[in-house]
Amino acid sequence: MSQFLLRNDHSPELEPFVHILEFAQKKNNSINLNSFTDACSSYLRIYYILEGKFDWVINNKSYTLYPNDLGVILPGQHLCAEKGYLDIGSLYWLHLQLPLPEKTNKQSPDGWSQISSQELVSVKKILFLDSTPVLTRIPDAGSIFSSLRNELFNQEIGYVTRVNQLLDELLILLTRKFSQQQNLQRDFPQTFLKLEETLRKDLSHHWTVEEMAALVGLGTTAFSDKVKKFTGFSPMNYLINIRISEAIRLLKKPSVQVTDIALDTGFYSSQHFATTFKKLTGLTPSQFRKNNI
């Protein structure tokens, strides 16, 4: 079997899987003009190249994909072929509704994933980081795609579970590869600076060490050791220092309420903010404001 096209609205194979919108393998031997023009979607699109060379434009940037490469098009991103038609070659693709972290209920169509809701938050954060949409040389993804195909067509006992497991596996693989490809794995200061910028952009989020480590592409232990060595702080203390620096800046602007500052800078409550702040500066945020304006 070298070609197939499964679509959720008319393929019985996909009936148990509301979240798989389309799954296909195509061997393209001829050029059809205008067969691959600009499209944007609300779901995740993953392409895996088996043979050939594909020149695509993803979000207005040109990329060339070779065999074993993955193209990952996020919801809301645009994809079209450089020349308007699909190049000659063969590829898999999968259109997938991303699982929602808050739906861990197995009955809900959004709750198909076994990834814990906290890890799903990290997965999404990493996928949506401003990263390159092409992952090069990921043959493991090819194996996942062919297992998916076999499960869907053979439908042996337990296949529904296996398909969802394979999708989880694919998501985890993508996430890990993204964070590793994002971070050259050679330049910790650069990587750490990128992490700092990400944290500052989203300071009200209650970051965990696991999430921060995932952004850098390291395990939590290795990450904590590395951060301690590089900065002198544990990751959490480093983060608290960023929170307080930002809070100080806001406290010096009389127009911002202390409660808003606490929540904007990622403290759980005004109380939590006041205690942490006073421990370091000897003053409560309000006293600090009085003394500094």
Partner 1 sequence: MPSTKKCIITIEIGTNAVRVVAFDLSGKTIASMKGSYPTFHSQPDFSEQDPEQIFITLLYVLKNLLNEYIHPSRTQVLSICFSASMHSVLAIDKSGIPLGNAITWADNRAQKEVQQLKNSPACNSIYTATGTPMHPMSPLFKIAWLKNNDKERFSNTSKFIQLKTYIIQQLTGEYLIDYSLASATGLLNIHTIEWEEEALAYAGINKGMLADPVPIFTSCGKLKKAYQNSLGLTAATQLIVGSSDGCLATLGAGVWGGQKATITIEDSGAVRVIGQKVLNDKQQRFFNYLLTENCYVSGGPTNSGGIIFEWFAKQFGDFKNPFDLEHTIEDLISVAAKVEAGADGLLFLPYLLGERAPIWDANARGVFFGINIKHERNHFVRAVIEGILFEIYSIGKILEEHSTIKSLSINGSFASIPLCAQIIADVFNKPVSISQHNYSVGAGAYLLSATEMGIFKDLDEAARSIVLTEQYFPKKNIHGVYMKHFEIFETLSTRLKPDFENVVSLQ
Whole-number Cα distances in Å, 175 to 17, 55, 68, 215, 289: 22, 24, 17, 9, 42
Output 92 or 192, the one with its CB closest to partner 1.
192
- Token pair in block for residue 20: 């798989």
Torsion of CA 138, 81, 39, 119, to 10 degrees: 10
Q: How many CB atoms lie within 10 A of CB 185?
A: 13
- Least Å from the CB of residue 266 to partner 1: 14
- Least Å from the CB of residue 68 to partner 1: 22
- Least Å from the CB of residue 212 to partner 1: 14
Output 118 or 241, the one with its CB closest to partner 1.
241
Output 5 or 184, the one with its CB closest to partner 1.
184
Write the single-letter amino acid at 46.
I
- Least Å from the CB of residue 110 to partner 1: 34
d(CA 255, CA 98): 40
Output 117 or 234, the one with its CB closest to partner 1.
234
Q: Tell me how long the chain is.
A: 293
d(CA 19, CA 134): 23
- Token pair in block for residue 151: 């499960």
Output 160 or 283, the one with its CB closest to partner 1.
283
- Least Å from the CB of residue 282 to partner 1: 3
d(CA 242, CA 251): 14
Contacting residues toward partner 1, per CB under 8 A? 180, 183-189, 191-193, 196-197, 217-218, 222, 226, 230-233, 237, 241-242, 244-246, 248-249, 252, 278-283, 287-288, 291-293
Environment class of 33 (CB within 10 Å of its CB; exposed 0-12, middle 13-18, buried 19+)? exposed
- Least Å from the CB of residue 60 to partner 1: 22
- Token pair in block for residue 60: 């207005």
Output 106 or 137, the one with its CB closest to partner 1.
137
